[in-house]
Amino acid sequence: VKTVNVIGAGLAGSEAAWQLAEAGVPVNLFEMRPVKTTPAHHTADFAELVCSNSLRGNGLTNAVGVLKEEMRRLNSVVIASADETAVPAGGALAVDRDNFSALITKKVKEHPLVTVIAEEVTEIPEGITIIATGPLTSEPLAKEIASFNGSHGFYFYDAAAPIIDSSTIDREKVYLKSRYDKGEAAYLNCPMTEEEFMRFYNALIEAEVAPQKEFEKEKFFEGCMPIEVLAKRGVKTMLFGPMKPVGLEDPKTGKRPYAVIQLRQDNAAASMYNIVGFQTHLKWGEQKRVFQMIPGLEKAEFLRYGVMHRNSFMNSPELLRPTYQSKQREDLFFAGQMTGVEGYVESAGSGLVAGLNAARLAKDEELIEFPRETAIGSMAYYITHAEGKHFQPMNANFGLFPSLPERIRDKKLRYETLAERALNSLAEMNK
């Protein structure tokens, strides 16, 4: 069997390498960290989560929950490791980020068919190869990819939320609760009166942002928009977004606060909390000043400040097949965020498809396209069939699934039916 090169041991690359090795195909896995790092990574571990520690919804009434379930059934190392290192997060699957990455690193590195090579790859290698170098692909390789693809590369910028030392949160002022008391109480909530909110809002929109590099045009991804940019859209915008108070009545008063900021547990020991939805590009000193105005965070110590980065992706509808193969070169695959799937789980999911298919190519077997009815297949279909001109990265969502033959008005029932169809379709395919 031929050896396959996988470049990048992030969410997609780790999953791809695992799938290859589990299929009996030897892998050379290239990862540049710790020799060289990216502006968002902090460790040398595989599959590091660069921003939130949440892998989002875990139930089957949620498309990303369906995606996870499909991946579980396909022996995903990323989802298995997330399940093993989960922390309480209501209906979501959130993880202890250090344990999660350490576990994936161990499983992948210790696999007898995986050889890890700690170096930066600067050219696209010969032979069967999966490129999974992420939205922060190092410059030399990014240039190679851009020239290989012609003028189809894009880029945009997004941001990471600050993390706080939990022992510095004033527990008298905050309360533990999940929205609508769904699942285990998982979030610390910082309630605000209207007056406190207005003071905070004004400070936030006037705070100084970090100087920008030679950004051409700012293009934010909606789901990870800096809080100050969101705030500038209008006084009420945050109240319908990350500061939404519904379902978060303060147990002390029984009343719904005017606004609420949620803190989410970031590690198993609960020694770190992140401010949910508060990714930011403010200067660090300004982050401290403004975020300490949040009730309960007056003395907060920031373990990590929010940051903002380049985030590159390619014009996949022009360039890729649903197997994640390059249209121009059959033995070259791309996977992860750079293909225009958006999110940790989606990135890992595309790595899974690329890994399975590269393994088949190495064994001279026929490649597989996942049915569109599956969450995995719906993502592959989206990135290869979206309109190329306005192509934007996309999270898994039920809107990408083909519609049902009958119309089901009840949303929950509709989602459950779509989920059931997806899992049946996957089972059918694996027969």
CB 56 within 8 A of CB 154: no
Per CB under 6 A, 227 contacts ligand FAD = no
d(CA 101, CA 44): 9
Please, what is the minimum distance in Å from the beta carbon of residue 279 to ligand FAD?
A: 7
- 378, containing H or E segment: helix 375-385
Interaction mask 319-338, ligand FAD, x per CB under 6 A: -----------------xxx
Per CB under 6 A, 369 contacts ligand FAD = no
Please, what is the minimum distance in Å from the beta carbon of residue 387 to ligand FAD?
A: 22
Other residues' Cβ atoms within 10 Å of the Cβ of residue 82: 27
Q: Provide the residue type at 284 as one letter.
A: W
Per CB under 6 A, 374 contacts ligand FAD = no
Per CB under 6 A, 160 contacts ligand FAD = yes
Please, what is the minimum distance in Å from the beta carbon of residue 255 to ligand FAD?
A: 31
**Assigned token pair, 373:** 């009815």
Per CB under 6 A, 311 contacts ligand FAD = yes
CB 358 within 8 A of CB 20: yes
The region of 31-39, 187-195, 227-235, 295-303 touching ligand FAD under the rule CB under 6 A is 31-39
Size of site (CB under 6 A) for ligand FAD: 38
CB 189 within 8 A of CB 251: no
Helix (H, G, I), strand (E, B) or coil at 366: coil
d(CA 356, CA 350): 10
**What is the CA 105 to chain-centroid distance, rounded?**
18
Exposed e or buried b per residue across 382-398, where buried means at least 16 C-beta atoms within 10 angstroms of its C-beta: bbbebeeeebebbbbbb
Please, what is the minimum distance in Å from the beta carbon of residue 216 to ligand FAD?
A: 17
Per CB under 6 A, 265 contacts ligand FAD = no
Q: Which is nearer to ligand FAD, 57 or 191 (CB)?
A: 57
- Exactly one of 20, 103, 224, 359 binds ligand FAD (CB under 6 A); that residue is 224
Per CB under 6 A, 347 contacts ligand FAD = yes
Task: Give contact residues for ligand FAD (rule: CB under 6 A).
Answer: 7-13, 30-33, 38, 40-41, 50-52, 120-121, 132-138, 141, 158, 160, 224, 309, 311, 336-338, 343-344, 347
